[in-house]
């Protein structure tokens, strides 16, 4: 199920009333739009931590939506140092 379907399920009948101006996979872009009065982004917890709280405030939605994340990569190929470090960090959890 994609993110928009998850949100549609959460909003229920009110989802059709929403005016979705844009979607973004970059939280910074959504934050800039919100900071300029162009909407209210919905994001994962912690996505707004790099914004000053007087510019952009993050609120919890209720009921909470939870999901899991899967990260996959190809094995047996050469990785750059950055990729190796990222895989080490992920495997630490």
Rounded to whole angstroms, what are the CA distances from 49 to 13, 28, 74, 77?
A: 31, 11, 31, 35
Rounded to whole angstroms, the Cα distance separating 93 from 27 reads 24
Task: Give the per-residue pLDDT at 78.
Answer: 93
pLDDT of residue 92: 87
Cβ–Cβ under 8 Å, residues 82 and 88: no
User: pTM of the prediction?
Assistant: 0.54
41-69 tens-digit pLDDT: 888 777 777 788 888 888 888 888 887 77
Instruction: Collapse the DSSP code of 2 into the 3-class scheme (helix H, G, I; strand E, B; otherwise coil) and give the result.
Output: coil
Domain ranges, ordered by start, for the chain:
3-66
């Amino acid at each position: 199920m994609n993110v928009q379907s998850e949100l549609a399920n959460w909003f229920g009948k009110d989802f059709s009333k929403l005016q979705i101006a844009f979607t973004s996979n970059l939280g910074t872009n959504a934050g800039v739009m919100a900071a300029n009065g162009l909407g209210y982004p919905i994001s994962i917890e912690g996505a707004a931590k790099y914004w000053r709280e007087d510019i952009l405030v993050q609120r919890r939605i209720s009921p909470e939506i939870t999901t899991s994340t899967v990260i996959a990569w190809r094995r047996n190929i050469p990785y750059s140092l950055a990729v190796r470090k990222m895989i080490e960090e992920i495997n630490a959890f």
